[in-house]
């Protein structure tokens, strides 16, 4: 800059004085070192090291891991959110999201309840191999399935299937512990009575608090069972709840539950925006999903080529993320249900199947980015991690 030019501008003297004062009393930014990370970690730690303090058998199928922080601090969360457990099992580095079942009004521990999946890689590892005092590496709490006071009604109909009860357990305990002004009608679908998780606790809460209503709905009930049987139908909901306007519906469970219950609720005239569903991984076999090409079997195999990396074969019916993990290629992941975009990879060539409604950004679609947790190879692929 040419010397002496701005010095001729009107008001330069004052600006010069400002600078002089600020040089004397300015900000020492070195004091901020590490502060951004520290502040953010109080709410959204990228990674937490949690110790298994207790293992509680809930049902023949389910166990709860009570997790306490190694460093003494757990961030608050919104009832309904999940953490993702990262682990290595059978030489595969992978992860799974689990809704936090304990309420957010205490952060001494998080409970996660794990249901055994037949041949499941992670559920069997967590239920059979993990012991008290073992350490698990987890993500911070995340997810968009929670009661949002800005738009959700004080009256909630919660529909759970199987281990989908966990977010509702957290919500209900928070409501009764904190005396929140909300009413909950919980319909809990289960194959058998034995598989109803938290049954005793839920019955006790419903017995004590008039704003909590607990209705197990059993598909194969024992003889003489007096409760609700079969599936959670619209007419059952209407019979129990009565008038539904002014109510928000929350659904969490396996895909079959959504496929059945959402249309049932829509038949009652409930608008889509009043029905909130937790993210879920599509049910296997993937070839049953609408839009899956007829000429491809889930057992067909295609060649995957990583840009500047290895080449391997993949099953069409297995999510790309899982295949990558089995090949020892680590891709960070969180929700594993197509929502969070953490496991985003770029398809350079070839075609993948993505279930309808997977929320991928428009420009991501244009440039071939997919959420690998819900992408299935339909052709030979070249991909970029």
How far apart are alpha carbons 64 and 123 in whole angstroms?
11
- Among 75, 103, 143, 221, which residue interacts with another protein (rule: CB under 8 A)? 75
Rg of the chain over all Cα atoms, to the nearest angstrom: 25
- Write out the binding residues for another protein, residues 151-170 only, by CB under 8 A: 151
Put the strands of the sheet holding 344-349 in their side by side order.
311-315, 301-306, 381-384, 344-349, 369-371
| Tokens representing residue 179 in the block | 């005396």
Minimum Å gap between C-beta 167 and another protein is: 15
CB 279 within 8 A of CB 143: yes
Minimum Å gap between C-beta 35 and another protein is: 7
How far apart are alpha carbons 17 and 215 in whole angstroms?
73
Nearest to another protein of 102, 339 (CB atom): 339
- Write out the binding residues for another protein, residues 31-70 only, by CB under 8 A: 32-36, 39-40, 42-44
Q: Does 342 bind another protein (CB under 8 A)?
A: yes
Q: Does 2 bind another protein (CB under 8 A)?
A: yes
Stretch that binds another protein, among 89-97, 220-228, 230-238, 336-344 (CB under 8 A): 336-344
Q: Judged by CB under 8 A, how many residues of this single chain contact another protein? A: 58
- Among 169, 171, 184, 360, which residue interacts with another protein (rule: CB under 8 A)? 360
CB 376 within 8 A of CB 323: no
Nearest to another protein of 271, 291 (CB atom): 271
How far apart are alpha carbons 160 and 174 in whole angstroms?
17
Nearest to another protein of 131, 150 (CB atom): 150
What is each CA distance from 250 to 158, 171, 185, 272, 291, in whole angstroms?
Answer: 5, 11, 10, 11, 26
Nearest to another protein of 323, 372 (CB atom): 372
What percent helix, strand, coil does the chain show, rounded to 5?
30, 30, 45
How far apart are alpha carbons 337 and 327 in whole angstroms?
20
- Among 70, 80, 107, 232, which residue interacts with another protein (rule: CB under 8 A)? 107
- Among 54, 66, 71, 76, which residue interacts with another protein (rule: CB under 8 A)? 76
Nearest to another protein of 152, 213 (CB atom): 152
Stretch that binds another protein, among 52-60, 89-97, 164-172, 362-370 (CB under 8 A): 362-370
- Among 59, 64, 78, 248, which residue interacts with another protein (rule: CB under 8 A)? 78
Q: Position of tokens 């249309």?
A: 263
Report the Cα 296 to chain-centroid distance in Å. 30
Minimum Å gap between C-beta 139 and another protein is: 12
DSSP string, 80-125: T-EEEEEEEETTEEEEEEEEB-S-TT--S-EEEEEE--TT-HHHHI
- Interface ranges with another protein (CB under 8 A): 1-2, 5-6, 8-12, 14-15, 18-19, 22-23, 26-30, 32-36, 39-40, 42-44, 75-76, 78, 107, 144, 148-151, 271-273, 332, 339, 341-344, 359-364, 366-367, 369, 384
């Amino acid at each position: 800059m040419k010397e002496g030019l701005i010095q001729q501008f009107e008001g330069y003297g004052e600006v010069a004085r400002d600078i002089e004062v600020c040089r004397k009393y300015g900000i020492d930014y070195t004091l901020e070192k590490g502060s951004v990370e520290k502040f953010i970690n109080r709410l959204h730690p990228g990674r937490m090291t949690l110790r298994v303090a207790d293992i509680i058998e809930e049902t023949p199928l389910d166990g709860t891991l009570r997790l306490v922080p190694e460093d003494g601090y757990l961030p608050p969360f919104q009832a309904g959110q999940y953490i993702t457990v990262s682990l290595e099992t059978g030489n595969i580095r992978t992860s799974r999201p689990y809704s936090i079942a304990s309420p957010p009004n205490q952060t001494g521990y998080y409970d996660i309840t794990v249901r055994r999946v037949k041949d499941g890689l992670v559920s069997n590892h967590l239920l059979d191999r993990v012991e008290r005092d073992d350490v698990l590496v987890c993500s911070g709490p995340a997810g968009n399935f929670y009661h949002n006071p800005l738009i959700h009604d004080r009256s909630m109909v919660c529909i759970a299937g199987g281990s989908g009860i966990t977010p509702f357990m957290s919500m209900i305990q928070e409501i009764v512990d904190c005396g929140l002004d909300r009413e909950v009608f919980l319909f809990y679908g289960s194959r058998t009575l034995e598989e109803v998780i938290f049954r005793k606790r839920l019955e006790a809460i419903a017995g004590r608090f008039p704003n909590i209503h607990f209705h197990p709905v059993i598909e194969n009930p024992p003889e003489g069972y007096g409760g609700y049987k079969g599936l959670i139908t619209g007419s059952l909901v209407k019979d129990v709840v009565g008038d539904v306007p002014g109510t928000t519906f929350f659904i969490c469970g396996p895909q079959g539950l959504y496929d059945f219950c959402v249309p049932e609720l829509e038949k009652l005239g409930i608008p889509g925006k009043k029905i909130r569903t937790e993210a879920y991984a599509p049910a296997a076999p993937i070839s049953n999903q609408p839009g899956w090409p007829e000429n491809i079997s889930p057992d067909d195999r295609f060649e995957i080529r990583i840009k500047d990396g290895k080449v391997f074969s993949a099953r069409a019916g297995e999510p790309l993320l899982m295949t990558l993990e089995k090949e020892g290629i680590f891709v960070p992941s969180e929700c594993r249900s197509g929502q969070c975009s953490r496991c985003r990879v770029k398809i350079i060539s070839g075609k993948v199947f993505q279930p309808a409604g997977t929320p991928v950004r428009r420009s991501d679609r244009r440039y071939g980015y997919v959420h690998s947790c819900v992408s299935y190879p339909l052709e030979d692929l070249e991909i970029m991690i």
